Amino acid sequence: MGIFKYIRNKHGPYTISEMKSINRRYLKLLAQVIVIGLALWILAPQVGQLSNNRQTISSLSVGWLALGFAIFLSSNVFAAYVYQYLSPKKLSVRKNIQVQLATGFTNRLLPSGIGGISTNSLFLIRSGYKRPAAVSLALANNLIGFIAFSLVLVLSGALAPSSISEMFSDISAIYIWVAAGVVVVAITATALSLRFRELIQKNLRLGFSVLRNTLARPLHLILALLASSGITLCFAGALYCCLRGAGIVLEPSELMLVFLASAVATSASPTPGGLGAAEVSMLLALDKLSIASSPALAGVIAFRLITFWVPILPGYIFFRLVGSRRII
């Protein structure tokens, strides 16, 4: 019996649009399961090797991890100031920082940063913006972030031809198939809903409209770019501390290539926060840099722990706080 017939018999008649919506949800769930399955396929042998080498975990420097977490936390301040500089209206810095901390929870609920965009949009609406303008400003923040991220990559030398060729030379077939699988799943998940695509296109047009208005205030635009660059540097700094705590020292260009692998996987993956895909991408990048698997896995786990898992609980607390105070 087909899934549509089963649901219809189980719960009664549905309209065509309702049935299509149910189908999209199942396909999205399937896409997430495939990505997590690929991640487990790559990570399981590495975890097994790491469990046999507990000395690697115990040798992680607590001091470096604490420094990495402190650097990561400071990214919330930079994130708040991006909105401070982009917004024509005056925003409360204190409330803004609280909202950014709350995204540590909401960004774990939906993929591609949608949770964070929604949370910031609600904050902007409470701050006096109309809904379309609030969404546009939140999307303009993401565009600024992409530009700033690209600038940091260029300045670090990560996009130099020599760095790229070294990273992608002699890639084994298994890596190519895994990467292709992740890309196919990501494209499939993005293309599932026509409404979703139309909404993204509309909001991107609005986001560029906000950027055009921001160009009329060049000083604020430069400050927003600098603040957004600070976010990238905070994450890169946290990654450096986690890898350093595992005994791995990378050149700035190598560090940014590993971070680039994580950022691309996080953006493209249908799982919230790039769960599974980010870890695999970072391990593959470190492997191409001839880093031993055990310390590499220890560093990646530490990085994902302080940037993905640890912020969930305080993020939830701040989410309840800003909700109860009607900040969002």
Residue-wise pLDDT tens digits, 275-299: 778 888 898 899 888 898 888 988 9
Amino acid identity of residue 105, one-letter, is F
Q: What pLDDT sits at residue 182?
A: 54
- CA dist 272 and 40 (Å) reads 16
Write out pLDDT tens, residues 193-218: 555 556 666 666 665 666 677 677 88
- CA dist 197 and 162 (Å) reads 36
Considering the chain, what percentage of its residues have pLDDT values greater than 90? Answer: 32
Write out pLDDT tens, residues 26-82: 655 665 566 556 545 554 555 555 555 566 667 788 999 999 999 999 999 999 999
- CA dist 305 and 311 (Å) reads 9
Beta strands, E only, the chain: none
Residues making up the chain, counted from first to last: 328
Q: Residues 322, 122: contact at Cβ < 8 Å?
A: no
Total H helices, total E strands in the chain: 15, 0
First vs last Cα of the chain: how many Å apart? 45
* pTM of the complete model: 0.75
The candidate with the shortest Cα–Cα distance to 146, out of 191, 197, 243, 211, is 211
pLDDT of residue 177 exceeding 70, the answer is: no
Owner of token pair 């599974």: 276
The candidate with the shortest Cα–Cα distance to 89, out of 207, 184, 217, is 217
